[in-house]
Structure 1
Amino acid sequence: MPVNSVAERLRQANHVTVFTGAGVSAESGIPTFRDALTGLWERFDPAQLATAEAYRTDPSLCWGWYEWRRAKVLQAIPNAAHLAIAELANHVPKLTIVTQNVDDLHERAGCEGVIHIHGSLHTPRCIDCAVAYGPILPDQDLSHDGCRIEPLRCGACNGLIRPGVVWFGEMLPEHAWSAGLAAAEGCDLFLSIGTSGMVFPAAELPLRALSKGSTVVHINPSAFEVSADEYFLQGPATHIMQSLLTDAFG
């Protein structure tokens, strides 16, 4: 489906759900989870740092990695795709944003009510009692002790403070997942941007949208196979989203 055809669907849509993945944040310079790690982290496998077991075994190593990731996020700025998605709210009757990304770039671009189905680097909590922890200073120096940073402690139970992200083997946040499903099933246009749709259960969302009769459009720089009932626009999210906005609304 050419961009101008998707733009026409966008003009006619009553409820647009935008579903974003790591490819959107990558255009702001944030490494994707599956990118090869560099510098201090090049000898580690990220999948081995993203479990509750790994955190309890070596909390200072895991906390250090997540603080490194959070530092990357704090240095990044929203890109043209984030800004275009935020701008959509001014043109369509209803816009819902569901993201797999654990950064806050959608919010910094001006998006409201973003549904984070994989949690957020900015919402740490206690690993034992789950009490939320307040803001963390953004300027911790990661170089003084290699990769390791001693985790903070919970004021309620003295447990370790863990990142507020979904680790391997964990359920998605119930409220966020329910809201994401409702957004997929209730829209008439579903834009899946910067995600290959290979990771479940998140990849279920476009399927749910399709099953309810929504037009499903995938936007990605790398081609991948979609069903005959879905559409694919190949290119960077920054370029495609800006083109869609221009073609749809001038």
Structure 2
Amino acid sequence: MRYREAAVRRDELRRRVEQQGYVASRSVAAELGVSDMTVRRDLDQLAEQGLVLRVVGGARRPDGAPFVTRAVAAAAAKEQVGALAAGLLAGELVGPGAVVALDAGTTVEQVARRLPGGLTVVTHSVPVMAACADRDDLTLVGLGGGYHAPTRSFGGPETCAQLAGLAVDLAVLSASALRADGLSCHDATEAATKRTLLAAAAQVLVVADAGKLGARAPVHVAGWDAVDGLVTDDGLDDRGRARLARWAPRVPVRTPAGRLDPEPR
């Protein structure tokens, strides 16, 4: 189907940005049967109306989806991932006294609600801080910086500087998209914080529901070589397993059904 009428085409572009979080102008132009220049003009107009935010190569939702909206999306899957990841923290990945850094994100919040005791928790996420603040069996280290409302977290140079001075045994990282080249998110400041977490941690565990596999997000964070493990939900189908086997053959994947072991080194 060719989207020749501008109003219909822009409605479709806005719908895709809202659902996917990000569209690449070149690929969406091919899908709609119009030129790349036409799509760029459409996205520019939508941006002027405040309906999308233009980024290099395409457009994304303005400031990303609100935290509460993302928390509701795939809620059962995120709870499943959170419970599984927290269980792994209860002795298999780290022991009592370990320093664990928790990223921002609705899935990481589910991990925080189920943490085993005896850990020092480092985080820039306000919901994670709230989940840990009243726990007498956890030591909480909250990081400051510029507040980012869509993720309900702090970020920027101040946050990264605080993280860079810490020695972290394990970082639990979220991602907006899992693709062949690794992890992506929607915001450059958010990506910088994630990269600093990666650099500070001896091990990195990524938590993401299966819907993130093959999703789109404009800012690349890191490749699969920076990841030591992935926890996802039972929505991971055969196609998703095959993708991960191609994209991240060295990364062990945990699902409620068990562990998908990586290829031997």
TM-score (norm 2): 0.36
Give TM-score, length-normalised by structure 1: 0.38
Between the two structures, name the one with larger relative contact order (CA 8 Å, sep ≥ 6).
1
Higher helix share: 2
* Structure with higher strand content: 2
